[in-house]
Every structure is written in C-alpha cells, then in structure tokens.
Amino acid sequence: MRRGLDKMTVLKAAAELADREGFDKITLASVAKKLQIRLPSLYNHVEGLAGLKKELALYSIRKLKNQLAEAAIGKSGAEALYSIGIAYVSFVRRHPGLYEAMMGAPDFLNPDIQAAGNEIVALLLHVLEAFELDPINAIHTVRGLRSIVHGFASLELRKGFNMDVNTDESLIHILHTYVAGLTCKE
C-alpha cells in the first residue's frame, strides 16, 4: 500500500492551521494545501469536512483532559482546583483554534466526546471529595467550575475583557471567590 499520510497527520495539520489562522480557516482546501496533496485525497483519511471537524473535536477534548489530569497530580483540595482551572485556561490560550474545534462541535452527544467529557467531570468530582459535599451539590459544583473556566477562557479568547486589568489575576480571583463560597457556608 502506498504509505503516505495517516489520519493523525491530517488532524495535526488541521489543528496547527486552526491555532495559527483561526478555526474558521479550516477547509479541506486549506488542509490539503498545507499537506501538499489534492483536496479529494483527504477523503482517504477523514469523512469529509464534517468528519474532520468531529475528529478534531475529539482530539481536542482528549488533549485537554490529559493536561487537566496532569495539572492535578500531587495536589488536592482547593489547590488542585486552582491548578486545574489555570491549566484549562492555559490550554485555550495555547490552542485557541483547537479549542474552538471542540466547542464548535454541534453538540457533545457523540459517545467518544461524551466519554472524554465524563473523565473531566470525574476528575473534578474526585478533587471535590475533599470538600465533603453531598452528591447533588457536588454535581452543581462541577457545573460551576466548568462554567467558570470555559466561560472565562471563551470570553478572553473573543477579546471580551478590557485589557487594563490583568486577566490572570481575574481568574485567580474568580476561582478563590467561588471556592470561598463553597467552604464558608452562609
């Protein structure tokens, strides 16, 4: 068999293109050009543009999950939450296009994407055990943490924050405030 590209090479090319030029610049034409092949040849590796984007979303969430898990190593409680939160935002800053590929997926109902998402949820639930929340509260809290880091990263990516005030400090402040709200009841 003629050994040329494989799927991962295509995905990495698309990811780099997305991070460098923007997610909306991903077209089969632009990816093919970057790989120096003709456009239809990509169909040997991915199922069209929709397939490429779906695979890219999966690639993205798995990479994110790994980095979040790594950030939690050797930490616990509030310290672990801060580390994970910072890692999340850092991932989006380093991989803006790839992150958009993940959020740009029509929805998260794809089983593989859901599985990776569940691992992130499980990681957060595990860290939250130190807070001894009842199960329902723990779910609410995971949703809160995810909303905070995704919302923050997403708004920052869109240049939604005026740049006069340092954004790193904002992230820390927000996480501290939320965690304070978890611990000091009333």
Partner DNA sequence: TATTATAACTAATATGATTAGTTTTTCAAG
Partner DNA sequence: CTTGAAAAACTAATCATATTAGTTATAATA
Residues in the site for a second copy, rule: CB under 8 A? 22, 24, 103, 105-109, 117, 121, 136-137, 139-141, 143-144, 146-152, 154-155, 158-162, 165, 167, 169-170, 173-174, 176-182, 184-186
Q: Are 104 and 56 in contact (CB under 8 A)?
A: no
User: CB burial class (10 A; 0-12, 13-18, 19+) of residue 100?
Assistant: buried
Minimum CB separation of residue 15 from DNA in Å reads 16
Helices (H) and strands (E) in the chain, counts: 8, 0
- Token pair in block for residue 142: 């995971």
The count of other CB atoms within 10 Å of the CB of residue 165 is 9
Spatial contact of 45 and 7, defined as CB atoms under 8 Å apart = yes
Given candidates 8, 29, 155, 180, which one binds DNA under the rule CB under 7 A?
29
Q: Considering only residues 50, 115, 122, 155, which one is a binding residue for DNA as defined by CB under 7 A?
A: 50
Binding at 74: pick from a second copy, DNA, none (beta carbon under 5-8 Å per type): none
**How far, in Å, CA of 47 to CA of 114, rounded?**
20
28 binds, among a second copy, DNA, none (CB under 5 to 8 A by kind): DNA
Residues 153-172 that bind DNA (CB under 7 A): none
Q: What is the binding site for DNA (CB under 7 A)? A: 1-6, 27-30, 37-41, 43-45, 48-50
